[in-house]
Amino acid sequence: MEIRNSLGLHVRPASELAKLAQTFTCRIRLVAGRDDVDARSVMGLMTLGLEQGAKFELRAEGDDDAAAVAALSELVERGFDEK
Query: Which residues are part of the catalytic machinery?
Result: 10
Residue 34 gets which letter from DSSP?
Answer: T
DSSP letters along 2-44, please? B--STT-S-HHHHHHHHHHHTTS-SEEEEEETTEEEETT-HHH
Q: What are phi and psi of 61, to 5 degrees?
A: -150, 120
Among 23, 25, 33, 43, binds other proteins (CB under 8 A): 43
Q: Is the dihedral of CA 33, 70, 11, 62 positive or negative?
A: negative
12 binds other proteins (CB under 8 A): yes
**Site for other proteins contains 31 (CB under 8 A):** no
- In the bound state with other proteins, the residue whose beta carbon lies nearer, of 27 and 65, is 27
Residue 8 makes contact with other proteins by CB under 8 A: yes
- Is 46 among the residues that bind other proteins (CB under 8 A)? yes
Q: Which residues bind other proteins (CB under 8 A)?
A: 7-8, 10-12, 14-15, 18-19, 37-38, 40-44, 46-47, 49, 51
